[in-house]
């Protein structure tokens, strides 16, 4: 077991009392950092939380054939893993290799969860770290995996990441305030000398409510908020504008408030309602952080699938996977006026193909289709099966191409960008990937309101 005087200098644990720090130390163990050896491995279940006390640990990932350093734990208090404290499927995002002699504090994810739920300020520290770690891993993945050669997607991916990242930041900031309110209201309840039975009754009433992030009827919730606010005015409860929203979203009614007033003395009513409301706020904010960081990881996963850098060149693939990940990567262009219709046939077989190169084809075709519609219209992505071939169609409802433009669309260096439509951009590259690399064909059928790019791919490219 690690001594508390060894953990106390670590700033990560600022705010913990001596008793809490002792409980934390007792739940974990001290480990020496083995030089040149991995303490934990990328992709394995993140069943432990590792906190650096001294020394240094290098974080590395296998990207393609290269073992790439993606970060360094070289400051006491930096940590890794522990994700299974909140996600039963959480895995290590990188491997940790000892590079400088020292010690690391290790605690199981299950014990970490118990303590984090018990100490709200500690949870705030952890969420700061969760957000920072997810953002860092996403940045490394975005730099390393395929976006080097597809630079136009970088701005779009950053736009996609901004919303969940900003949401996580706002939630963490709000969580700090909510945690302080939980602790202060508990202290005021204790000062009011309520009995254990009274607190148990209050907690029982709290458990009858259920906070929800989905508002099924905003008008009904607004009416409920008005009713709760009026009730609090009658009972001299201050700052009702802070208490009413979380209570109303959790389903609290005036009858429920009457029950609270019935189990608590008058002087404990204010802190009692504050405690209940702040616990719901903490729960809601934790959900927001989980959803936001989950969205970040979904985007990182899409980048990995899109780039194909961790797989062999010729693969046995499901063609719809590449189409879907390309749509994710181009999500910043598929908003507002663009409706995406997926029409995937059920019996399309898997094929042998160069998946990363095909993703470049889908990127060019979808990007051109959106440009042709000038951001407004219907994009249809469909698949079908023919004897010996898989067929992919990318269709748009733009103004179409003239026969002259369609005849030259696959010529090298030809583009209609000068006249504003951009539908020829990159089609020579697409043709060479489809025809030369895969032995397939690509063709155009175009008329006003319906342009179809049709790609036929054999089940296996020809032998070279």
Taking a C-beta distance cutoff of 8 angstroms, is the pair 88, 96 a contact? no
Domain 1-116: which CATH number of 3.60.15.10, 3.40.50.2000, 2.60.120.10, 3.40.50.261: 2.60.120.10
What is the predicted pLDDT for the residue at 340?
A: 92
Say yes or no to pLDDT of 97 above 60: yes
The model's pLDDT over 286-314, given as tens digits with 9 standing for 90+, comes to: 888 887 787 777 666 666 656 554 445 67
What is the predicted pLDDT for the residue at 221?
A: 78
Say yes or no to pLDDT of 105 above 90: yes
Residues 55-69 have a mean pLDDT of: 80
Q: How does residue 85 score in pLDDT terms, banded at 50, 70 and 90?
A: confident
Residues 124-140 have a mean pLDDT of: 53
Say yes or no to pLDDT of 325 above 70: yes
Residues 71-96 have a mean pLDDT of: 85
What is the predicted pLDDT for the residue at 33?
A: 94
Strands 377-386 and 338-344: parallel
Please report the DSSP string for 348-396 in residue order.
PPPEEEEHHHHHHHHHHHHHHHHHHTTT-EEEEEEEEEETTEEEEEEEE
Q: Where are the domains of the chain?
A: 1-116, 119-310, 311-458
Q: How far, rounded to the nearest angstrom, does the alpha carbon of residue 131 sit from its chain's CA centroid? A: 10
What is the predicted pLDDT for the residue at 288?
A: 80
Q: How does residue 351 score in pLDDT terms, banded at 50, 70 and 90?
A: very high
Residues 138-149 have a mean pLDDT of: 42
Residues 383-402 have a mean pLDDT of: 91
Residues 174-197 have a mean pLDDT of: 83
**φ, ψ for residue 39 (rounded to 5)?**
-80, -35
Average pLDDT, the chain: 80
CATH architecture of 311-458: 2-Layer Sandwich (3.30)
| Percent with pLDDT over 90 in the chain | 22
- By mean pLDDT, which of 15-29, 121-135, 217-231 is the weakest? 121-135
């Amino acid at each position: 077991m690690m001594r508390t005087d060894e953990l106390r200098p670590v700033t990560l644990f600022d705010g913990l009392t001596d008793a809490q720090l002792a409980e934390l130390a007792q739940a974990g163990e001290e480990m020496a950092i083995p030089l040149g050896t991995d303490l934990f491995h990328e992709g394995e279940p993140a069943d432990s939380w590792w906190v650096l006390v001294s020394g240094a640990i290098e974080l590395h990932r296998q990207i393609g054939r290269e073992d790439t350093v993606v970060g360094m734990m070289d400051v006491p208090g930096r940590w890794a893993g522990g994700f299974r404290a909140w996600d039963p499927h959480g895995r290590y995002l990188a491997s940790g290799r000892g590079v400088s002699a020292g010690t690391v504090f290790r605690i199981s994810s299950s014990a970490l969860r118990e303590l984090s739920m018990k100490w709200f300020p500690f949870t705030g520290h952890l969420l700061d770290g969760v957000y920072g770690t997810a953002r860092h891993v996403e940045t490394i993945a975005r730099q390393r995996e395929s976006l080097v050669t597809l630079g136009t997607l970088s701005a779009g991916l950053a736009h996609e990441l901004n919303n969940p990242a900003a949401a996580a930041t706002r939630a963490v900031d709000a969580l700090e305030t909510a945690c302080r309110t939980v602790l202060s209201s508990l202290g005021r309840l204790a000062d009011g000398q309520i009995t254990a039975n009274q607190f148990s009754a209050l907690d029982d009433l709290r458990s009858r409510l259920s906070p929800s992030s989905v508002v099924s009827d905003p008008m009904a919730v607004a009416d409920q908020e008005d009713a709760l606010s009026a009730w609090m005015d009658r009972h001299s409860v201050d700052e009702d504008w802070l208490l009413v929203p979380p209570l109303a979203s959790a389903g609290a009614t005036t009858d429920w408030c009457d029950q609270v007033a019935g189990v608590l003395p008058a002087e404990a009513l204010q802190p009692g309602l504050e405690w209940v409301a702040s616990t719901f706020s903490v729960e809601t904010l934790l959900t927001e952080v989980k959803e936001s960081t989950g969205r970040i990881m979904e985007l990182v996963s899409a980048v990995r699938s899109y780039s194909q850098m961790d797989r062999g060149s010729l693969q046995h693939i499901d063609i719809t996977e590449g189409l879907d990940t390309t749509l994710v990567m181009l999500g910043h262009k598929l908003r507002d006026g663009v409706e995406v219709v997926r029409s995937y046939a059920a019996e399309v077989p898997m094929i042998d193909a160069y998946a990363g190169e095909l993703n470049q084809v889908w990127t060019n075709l979808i990007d051109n289709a959106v440009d042709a519609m000038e951001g407004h219209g219907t994009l249809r992505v469909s698949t079908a099966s023919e004897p010996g071939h898989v067929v992919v169609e990318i269709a748009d409802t733009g103004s179409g191409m003239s026969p002259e433009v369609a005849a030259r669309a696959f010529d090298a260096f030809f583009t209609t960008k000068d006249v504003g439509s951009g539908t020829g951009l990159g089609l020579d590259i697409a043709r060479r990937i489809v025809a030369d690399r895969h032995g397939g064909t690509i063709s155009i059928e175009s008329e006003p309101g319906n342009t179809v790019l049709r790609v036929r791919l054999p089940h296996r490219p020809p032998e070279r």
